[in-house]
Amino acid sequence: MDEKNQNDQNRFEDGSATPEETPAPDSVPADGDSPVSATPEENKEDNTEGREDDEAGDKAEDGTGDNSGDSAGNSEAEGSDASTDSTTTEPVTAYRWTYSDQKAHDASLGSSESENNPSPKSGRGGKNRTALWVYALIMTGVFAVSFGILIGVLFVGKGTVGSGINTNYGEVENDPVTPADVAGVEECKRSVVVIEVATATGGGTGTGVIMTSDGYIATNHHVIENSERIRVSFFDGSQAYATLVGSSAMDDLAVIKVERTDLIPATFADSGQCYVGQTVYAIGTPAGSDFSWTTTKGIISYVNREVKQYNSDGTLAKKLRLLQTDAKVNPGNSGGPLVNADGQVVGIVSMKLGGEYEGIGFAIPSDGALEILQAIMRDGNADSVNSSLSFKRPVLGITGVYMEAGHSYIMDQTAGRIYDLEVQDAETVKREILKNGGVPSDPITPEVSGVLVVEVNQELGAKDILRVGDIIVAVEGEECNSMSALSGVVNGFYAGDTVTLDVYRNGETLILSLILSAQPD
């Protein structure tokens, strides 16, 4: 998503672990708290302390103790079960009253009161017995009234007394969706698989969609990236190892294959017919294989949402056109289907918006995805396809620096860096450039503010249109008051789009048109 492979499965050893021997990951509560359990050793310590305190309670005259508990330690397991003792130790809460302790406590209190406040003798119980009978009669009356009210409520619920409560338990009154309505979604689960990947550094879990009966399965590129072994689990409980056919990192799609001929392929629908508000379901493996084939329901929130992905240095890497949905999407859903109410695949789940945001997930539209996936099945890659899904960063094809009118600058012509002479004097700047192995230029004093072109890439769109020394004042009417401002305007377009530039050259302003290129690999 682009959240990388979820590390909820241990990397299984080459050829040594069978599916039954591979441990499942521990589940983690949705609120993020780790599961807590006491180890056998800790239970033993708790039991010992409890017995010691019980003994102390027996010896105390007033039956009280100094209560101070200790907590059980966390037993964390990533992909393996915690060790257990062969002899089951009953958990004992420290510092509790036992039955014998309570009797001793009551006896000591009774004895003490008898010595200090002897009660008068009165026949066979006297006043105490009379009070007990009065209390019993009162409680009997209260019970009878309460029981009568309960019987009345039950009769009303059955419709024999009044009609205020509906107890027609056989029907669901408020949910318009019936099992028949989602039969297609349930049927689609047979075409969804769990994908477990082992890499050199660990592993993870994702989801896949069966494309053909003879073993071709679609998933995300980021699910199988850097995989050393891929294991697939099917809805019928069987498992098989898969080989990688190929993938497209730009489109985040991949195809794997298993040696089977009896698979049930999914049915793909035209995602171009999707609309905002349409009911959709995401089927996947969130939080590991223990939650395989989890189904979440939502709607199409946006059609053809443009999603930008960035490089580690903050520069734009590519843009994608995706379906947006509020169906719950979590790590492990990657590669799974987004289906309509008939169980037909309209998208391949790819990512979600992270951080504090919820209900903003994205899926690769099926119409564009099929084009990429079929090319991978045929050629092992998607190089022959002009993808309608993903677009590389658009670029002008220049190297430039921003300069402000009225300032004087010296440029390091080797590094392409400029120095503002309002900050440092010219001689100091030149010495620093020479010291670093650069070549200083003569002072430059631009007449207008903008991006000075210091290099033109002869393989991209700026070739034969822009020249070294040009100052780009505006793009599509937007002033270029910094390099980031210029990039921001260009990033709003796609490679192949034509943009208009205001360029200052040799004392005059020119209006030039340029076709944007895709950022080279």
> In sequence order, what DSSP letters do the residues of 383-409 get, joined into one string?
TT---SSEEEPEE-SEEEEEE-TT--E
Residue 355 within any structural domain of the chain:
yes
- Domain final residue, candidates 100, 119, 137: 100
Residue 427 within any structural domain of the chain:
no
For residue 456, give the CATH number of its domain. Answer: 2.30.42.10
- Answer whether 0.85 is exceeded by the pTM: no
Task: State whether 204 and 268 are in the same domain.
Answer: yes
- Domain final residue, candidates 391, 417, 435: 391
pLDDT of residue 174: 63
133's CB contacts (< 8 A; 6+ apart) are none
Residue 137 within any structural domain of the chain:
no
For residue 294, the tally of other CB atoms under 10 A from its CB is 18
Domain that holds residue 462: 394-408+445-518
pLDDT of residue 495: 84
Task: State whether 76 and 204 are in the same domain.
Answer: no
pLDDT of residue 384: 82
Task: State whether 500 and 351 are in the same domain.
Answer: no
For residue 100, report the phi and psi dihedrals to the nearest 5 degrees. Answer: -65, -35
For residue 447, the tally of other CB atoms under 10 A from its CB is 9
Please report, for the chain, how many H helices and E strands are present, in that order. 8, 23
334 classed as catalytic: yes
The catalytic residue among 221, 222, 367, 517 is 222
Residue 458 within any structural domain of the chain:
yes
- The number of domains in the chain is 3
Residue 164 within any structural domain of the chain:
no
- Domain final residue, candidates 54, 77, 100: 100
Task: State whether 327 and 229 are in the same domain.
Answer: yes
Task: State whether 343 and 403 are in the same domain.
Answer: no
Task: State whether 402 and 375 are in the same domain.
Answer: no
Task: State whether 247 and 322 are in the same domain.
Answer: yes
Residue 290 within any structural domain of the chain:
yes
Task: State whether 245 and 361 are in the same domain.
Answer: yes
Residue 146 within any structural domain of the chain:
no
Task: State whether 186 and 270 are in the same domain.
Answer: yes
The catalytic residue among 233, 248, 289, 334 is 334
* Cα Rg of the chain (Å, integer): 37
Question: Partners of 300 in the beta sheet?
Answer: 325
For residue 320, give the CATH number of its domain. Answer: 2.40.10.120
Side chain identity at residue 292, one-letter code: S
SS3 161: coil
Task: State whether 366 and 500 are in the same domain.
Answer: no
Residue 169 within any structural domain of the chain:
no
pLDDT of residue 64: 36
Task: State whether 327 and 339 are in the same domain.
Answer: yes
pLDDT of residue 318: 84
Average pLDDT, consecutive stretches of 10 residues, N- to C-terminus, the chain (521 residues): 43 39 38 36 40 43 38 37 41 41 55 48 56 80 78 56 48 70 92 95 93 96 94 95 94 95 95 94 90 94 90 80 94 94 95 86 94 94 82 86 89 83 86 88 89 88 89 92 87 88 92 88 64
Q: How far apart are CA 381 and CA 165, in angstroms?
A: 64
The catalytic residue among 8, 252, 470, 502 is 252
Task: State whether 187 and 267 are in the same domain.
Answer: yes
**Which among 245, 241, 323 is positioned nearest to 282, based on CA atoms?**
323
